[in-house]
Structure 1
Amino acid sequence: MSESEKDELIEAQKQIIGILFEVIKRLQANSDLDEEYFELITKEKKDQSRLDEILKERQENAKIVGRLLEQLET
């Protein structure tokens, strides 16, 4: 394997690690948002605007995770 090929392989590995790190970060964020969402829902006085924000953030995180996983397929 040439030096150039080794460098390309290392760069590809770095990109994969970066993508996987971002996927994990987004999934963890969604998990944290889930906790907050359920805490808010169980309260008698619900903060509807925050509930809407949480749902929007979760959807955005899910879209980003989907796009990142698509990158890994190529």
Structure 2
Amino acid sequence: MDENEKDQLIEAQKQVIGILFEVIKRLQENNDLDEEYFQILSNGAKNENRITEIQKERTENAKIVGRLLEQLEI
């Protein structure tokens, strides 16, 4: 393996690590949002605005995770 191929492999590895880091970060954010969501519901609070916001954030995170995972398939 020549030096150029090694550099390309290292760059590809960096990209994969970056993508996986972002996936983990988004999934953790969704876990945190889930926890907040269930706390709101269990307290009987009528905070519909925050519940709607949590659902939107979770959906956006899920879309981003899907796009990131698609990049790994390439």
- Short-chain TM bin: over 0.9
TM-score if structure 2 supplies the norm length? 0.97
1:1-74 aligned within 5 A: 1-74=1-74
Instruction: Provide structure 1 residue ranges, at least 5 long, that are not aligned to the other structure.
Output: none
- Percent identity (aligned): 72
- Deviations 1:15-67, CA, capped at 9 Å, x for gaps: 00000000000000000000000000112232100000000000000000000
RMSD of Structure 2 on Structure 1 (CA): 0.6
Cα deviation, residue 70, structure 1: 0.2
Kindly provide the amino acid, as one letter, of the partner of residue 39 in structure 1: Q
Instruction: Flag structure 2 segments of 5+ consecutive residues without an equivalent.
Output: none
Runs of 4+ in 1 over 2 A off after TM superposition: none
Aligned residue pairs total 74
What CA distance in whole angstroms lies between the structure 2 residues aligned with 1:40 and 1:56?
16
